[in-house]
Amino acid sequence: MHDTVDTNMIIQFGLKTLGIFAVIFAIAVLTPWIAKHVDNWIAKYRSTHENSKNPEDRRLYSVRSIYELPPKKTDSESTEMNKNKKKTVVSARKKI
């Protein structure tokens, strides 16, 4: 009734576990390296294609934090928005 575990099975389990840890380690090491190269590529792409597309707001295509305040509106934008607002009419009844 003594069940024995084969040493070959233990070695296979250990190697599989080390393999999984090696893959996780490689991903953890390679991710910042890949991100650095992607950032460099994006910077080069933006510098060469900056003049072809000139968006009104440069922040339109950038990543923003949820805590970042929205951009301030210029005077021309605020007057244009005021022109487009619908005026609401409030009526009140007189008590008789």
**pLDDT tens string 64-84:** 777 877 767 666 666 666 665
**Domain-located, residue 72:** no
User: Does the predicted model carry a pTM greater than 0.75?
Assistant: no
Q: For the chain, what's the residue count?
A: 96
**Domain-located, residue 15:** no
**Domain-located, residue 37:** yes
Provide the domain count of the chain. Answer: 1
**Domain-located, residue 46:** yes
**Domain-located, residue 34:** yes
Distance, CA of 15 to CA of 1 (rounded, Å): 29
Structural domain of residue 36, as residue ranges?
Answer: 23-50
**Domain-located, residue 38:** yes
Distance, CA of 40 to CA of 87 (rounded, Å): 50
Please state, for a pLDDT cut of 70, what percent of the chain lies above it: 57
**Domain-located, residue 35:** yes
